[in-house]
Structure 1
Amino acid sequence: MPKSLGQEILFTIMMVFVMVYAMICYNIALAMGGLSNSVFLLAFHELPIMAPIAFVIDFFIVGPLAKKITFSKFNPEQTNPVFIILSISICSVWMMCPLMSLAATILFKGGFQKEMISIWLQTTAFNYPMAAFWQMLVAGPLVRVIFGLMFKNKKPAAK
């Protein structure tokens, strides 16, 4: 887990990239009626728009709220770290999914129109299962492993 502001920023950037890219691919595949190789390239067109939005929302709003909620329920010194990680992840998906679905609705699904609320609610409902599974089973573990390897505490060699 991040131990400094710089590490927190890097961790958030890594998580945002893995989550946002996957969710963009998912939404493009839904819109196209299925997954094809072109989806992976098309996603790079939306990534420069959606990733900064996700970073700002996560770093300044959702991340701190997810930690506040988690640490109001769990004492980190008495709780298995797995439960802390799961709680933060669940809280993050719970808040990020509707916010990012709203951004996508405004930017890519017709914006402010009479059906906007319905489109946003449908987009959120479609995104929740994918976001939750992707976070718990792929993005979260992958980013934590890579991050852990990057900041592995090197112990001095035994004499």
Structure 2
Amino acid sequence: MPTNKKESIIFGLMMCFGMVAVMSTYNLLISGNIQHLTLQNIVIEVVLGFIIALFLDFFIVGPFAKKITLKLPFAHSSKLLFVLCMSTLMILGMVFFMSMFGFLMSYFGQGLEGRSMISAYGTIFIRNVVLALPLQLLVMGPAVRFIFSKYFQKRGVELSS
């Protein structure tokens, strides 16, 4: 959807902010950590998560997902199919890495509580996929695309200077 580098940055910022805000809140709620943290700790965790998510989106997961999507055998002229494929690969990649971030935050905050590392990470990963997939495909993705197209493409806002 973005047509140049600046649009890609704005689109990525919007998408990452929305997803990190919802997913961080979700993870703090299901882990039971939200009542044990101060507002300052929550803000630090969300900001740190946002920075990591942006890095992953722009430099690792995003380019990899695009490369794989372009290699898949389907008509790339189908915008819907391209967006669904790209979004699904982005979700799986981001959940894989951001679940590691969540695991580490939880581990350093409260330990493993008797669980193995694989079990703890697997639980976090599955819980995150369960929310991230529908959140991205049905809510955040369409909302960000709508806002982006309305405010950055339809009004002729010049982003490519």
TM-score by length of 1: 0.82
State how far apart, in whole Å, the 1-side matches of 2:32 and 2:105 are.
18
CA RMSD of aligned residues (A): 2.8
In 2: Cα distance, 1:41 partner to 1:134 partner: 26
Residue 7 (structure 1) aligns with: 7
Q: Structure 2 CA distance, aligned partners of 1:143 and 1:154?
A: 16
SS in 1 for 2:108: coil
Are the aligned partners of 1:105 and 1:123 in contact in 2 as well (CA < 8 Å)? Answer: yes
Compute the displacement of 1:115 (Å). Answer: 3.2
With CA pairs under 8 Å and 6+ residues apart, which has the higher RCO, 1 or 2? 2
Name the SS for the 2:56 alignment partner: helix
Distance in 1 (CA, whole Å) between partners of 2:139 and 2:40 is 20
Instruction: Classify the secondary structure of the residue corresponding to 2:153.
Output: coil
State the match for 1:70 in structure 2.
69
Task: Output the amino acid matched with 1:9.
Answer: I
Change (3 A) 1:43 1:18: farther
Distance 1:96 1:88 in 2: 12
Name the residue aligned to 2:152.
151
Gaps of 5+ in 1: none
Indicate conservation of the 8 Å contact 1:16/1:51, yes or no: yes
Number of matched residues?
150
Structure 1 letter corresponding to 2:11: F
Shift in Å at residue 106 of structure 1?
1.2
1-structure distance, mates of 2:101, 2:22: 16
Distance 1:143 1:66 in 2: 19
Identify the residue that residue 92 of structure 1 maps to in structure 2: 90
Aligned-pair CA distance for 1:47: 1.3
Query: Deviation per CA, 1:29-66, whole angstroms, max 9, x where unpaired?
Result: 21239x99xxx998544211100000001110111111
Query: CA separation in 1, counterparts of 2:41 and 2:84?
Result: 31
* Pairwise CA distance, 1:24: 0.7
**105, 108, 111: which one aligns with 1:110:** 108
Change (3 A) 1:135 1:19: same
The residue type equivalent to 1:124 in the other structure is: F
Verify the 8 A CA contact 1:110 1:116 in the aligned structure 2.
no
* Matching residue of 2:80: 82
Q: Name stretches of at least 5 consecutive residues in structure 2 with no aligned partner.
A: 157-161
SS at match of 1:110: helix
How far apart are the structure 2 equivalents of 1:45 and 1:110?
A: 14
